[in-house]
Each structure stands twice: as C-alpha cells, then as structure tokens.
Structure 1
Amino acid sequence: MSKFYARRRLGIAAALTGLIASVGLFNAPAASAALPTPVSAATARSYLSALPVRTENRAGYDRDLFPHWITVSGTCNTRETILKRDGTNVVTNSSCAATSGSWYSPFDGATWSAASDVDIDHLVPLAEAWDSGAGSWTTSRRQAFANDRTRPQLLAVTDNVNQSKGDQDPATWMPSRSAYRCTYVRAWVQVKYYYDLSVDSAEKSALQGYLANC
C-alpha cells in the first residue's frame, strides 16, 4: 500500500472516530441537578447572629396556606423533580411518576428502591416557617418557599424519619446520622436567613452549639 493510501485510511479512521465520539456525546444523558450545597459553617454562624430571636406563634397555621408540589415542567411537579434530582438511575413514566431507581437518605443513611418509601422533606418545615414569620407572607411567597429548589430546602429522605421529624426545629430533632448534622444546620440557617425568618431562643442555642463543632 502506498503512503498516500495509508495516510488516507488513517484520516478516514480518525474522522469516523471523531464522528462516533460526537454522536456518543450527543446521545449521552444529561447529568441530574445536584442538591444545593449549604453555605459554609463560618457563613452560617454569621447569618445566625443576624437572625432575630422571637417567640414562635402558630396561630392560624394551615398547611394548605403553602401551595406545594406545583408543576415544574410538563407533567412533573416539585416532588417528582426532587425525586429525580436526588435519586440514582431514576426511571419515570409518562406521568413523571418514578417507576424505578434508588434513593439514599442522608438523615439516616438508608437506601430505598421504591419512591413510595421516600418523602420530600421541607428542611425548615412549613409550620416552623409559619411560626417564625411566614404567617405574614403573601400566598405566592409561601408557594415559593414550599417549592424552593434553589436553596437546600428540599431533599429526599426516608419517609418515616421525615414523619418523626414533623415540624420540629434543631432544638428538639436532628438527623440520627451524625455525619450529616453540620450540613443540616448550615442549610437550616441559610434558608431562615434567606427568607428573613426568626429563631426562638432554644433553637438559636442549639444551632450555635452544632455550628461550633462544624
């Protein structure tokens, strides 16, 4: 074979390799969005010092005052969007319901293979938000809070762990997995600071204690 034809074959092979690679990249699935990372411990301590300390008031609270699981895109609502974001190899049907996948719960370290075993936690619970300032918000602001995918306010966790947490703040409830506690309080303070919510004295004391060890 002449050098001319050898070079030509090499050129064709290189072109085909590049084409295959570009097709592969084109067909590669898009990476899932990551859970928002909370602010640093130092920033959280600074934010906490700026939060007003007030007695909580639950008068008039109703969960329906926080419109949640609104439509995000197509047939997917907020819950389904977070399940896809926080899960691994999540497959959904035409209604956007997760039919398979796995979910790791950072609160307790458990992994689940059924979406029905997973709740989407409002890290700062809706009732807690109401107690600390959201009672005076507009409905649209409460809706934004209840569906906030930008701050570290929503995450997939074991359902009965979320239910045991209920509407408690860090003075009375923390994740059983100690490795996650620093992340949890950093996220808690960030969300409260962003939404200009208050803390009560026991809550602030607990947050200061946990942040001191972050």
Structure 2
Amino acid sequence: MCIAGLALAATAPAHAALPTPISAATARSYLAGMTATAETHGDSYDRDLFPTWITISGTCDTREWILKRDGAGVTTNSACTATSGTWTSAYDNVVTTNPSTFDIDHLVPLSEAWASGAWAWTTTRRRTFANDVNDPQLIAVSASSNRSKGDRDPAEWLPQTSYRCTYARAWVQVKHDYALTVDSTEKNTLTTILNAC
C-alpha cells in the first residue's frame, strides 16, 4: 500500500466526499458575477488534449487516489490499486464493493471546460484541471450515472435531488477557480438550484 493510501484509508468517509465546496451564498455571489457567454470551439475538442490519471503520490495515480479518498475501509496493494472497500455514488446512491464498476467523474466535464475557455489553455493547465484533487472537481461515482451524465452541464443533467446543492456549489467553484464561462441556460439552472440551498 502506498503511503498516501495509508493516510487516506484511516479517514475515508462512508461515501464519496469532494473537497468541501464553497457555501451556497458564496456560490450565488460568484455566479451572479459571471456574464452568460455562449460556448465556443466545441467542434475542436479532443479528450487527448487533457492528459489524465497522472501520478499524484508514490505509485498512486489520480484514479486510485480518488478511489481511496471516496471509499470506506479501502485497502490497496503495492501498486496502489484498491483491493477492497465500499463506495457509494453521490449521484445516484449506488453502492459497490467492486471499484471497477465506478468511474472517476470530472464534475465539470472536460469538453464543457474546453467550450467554456479551456481551448485557450496550455497543455499544462489542462493536465492540472483534469487531475485536480484539491478543487471539488473529481468524484468516484457509479459508471451508469457517469455515462448518463456524459458531457452535459446542469441545465441538461443533474444528480439525485439530495446532492444537487452540493453539485451546484462545486460546479460554480470549479468554473470560478479556473475562470471558465457559463452559458445562459446553465447559469439560470444553477441560480434556481442555489436559491433553494
């Protein structure tokens, strides 16, 4: 087991736990300051422009790091691969003891980021975004919910009702921290959610 895994396993939550997003009040303030802007450059998106699953600590890559953070009772082998544990998907409440059935979701999808301004970034910045374990951007969720979400923004897809406030707060924080734009329907949907938080 890698050193990071030892530390994380001892404090792992019972379900997926993003780094705590900004408060609803802060999210409302950030969102109000974002001018609704049409997305651009969507046709030129290529996932390979966002290098993913880099080494985060020791032998642990981004996926393995998030699986340990978001699981309960997680143990790993010498390659830092999770061998046991329990994971609960915040998007749809699916529970598993088989991490291969879970995906690591980019809360703000890579193609959404691209069309919201990441098309102008350097590869280094896109790598940072795609592997960000400090902002509330990566979360272990059921593969079915991740595939259902795809590349859609909150105007087109939302997780289960009980998680929507957290999701909206995290979405706005990531967009704010990376100076990404929001389109009008996305902004309206997020405003409605956050006003009810």
TM-score, length of structure 2 as denominator length: 0.91
For 2:103 and 2:89, the matched residues in 1 are separated by 10
Within the candidate set 188, 194, 211, 2:171 is matched to 188
Runs of at least 4 residues off by over 6 Å: none
| Cα pair 1:51 1:197 within 8 Å, conserved | no
- Paired residue for 2:21? 38
SS of 1:190's equivalent in the other structure is helix
> Which amino acid letter does the alignment assign opposite residue 102 of structure 1?
T
> Which amino acid letter does the alignment assign opposite residue 73 of structure 1?
S
> Which amino acid letter does the alignment assign opposite residue 201 of structure 1?
S
> Does 2:38 align with 1:55?
yes
**Please, which runs of 5 or more residues in structure 2 have no aligned partner?**
1-8
Within the candidate set 103, 113, 120, 2:104 is matched to 120
- Paired residue for 2:143? 159
Shift of 1:74: 1.7
| Cα pair 2:53 2:62 within 8 Å, conserved | yes
SS of 1:53's equivalent in the other structure is coil
For 1:110 and 1:71, the matched residues in 2 are separated by 28
- Paired residue for 2:126? 142
> Does 2:161 align with 1:178?
yes
Shift of 1:56: 1.0
Aligned pairs, how many?
A: 185
Instruction: Compute the RMSD of aligned alpha carbons.
Output: 1.3
Within the candidate set 79, 88, 104, 1:95 is matched to 79
From the superposition, tell whether residues 70 and 137 of structure 1 become closer, same or farther in structure 2 (CA, over 3 Å).
same
| Cα pair 2:52 2:127 within 8 Å, conserved | yes
Q: Which digits, 9 at most, give the CA deviation of each residue in 1:92-143, with x for residues without a partner?
A: 1111111111101111111111011111110000000001000000001001
For 1:202 and 1:74, the matched residues in 2 are separated by 42
Q: Which digits, 9 at most, give the CA deviation of each residue in 1:71-101, with x for residues without a partner?
A: 0112110000000000011111111111111
For 1:64 and 1:38, the matched residues in 2 are separated by 28
> Which amino acid letter does the alignment assign opposite residue 61 of structure 1?
Y
**Please, which runs of 5 or more residues in structure 1 have no aligned partner?**
1-28
- Paired residue for 1:81? 65
TM-score, length of structure 1 as denominator length: 0.84
Greater RCO structure (CA 8 Å; 6+ sep): 2
| % identity of equivalent residues | 61
- Paired residue for 2:6? none
> Which amino acid letter does the alignment assign opposite residue 153 of structure 2?
D
Structure having the higher Rg: 1
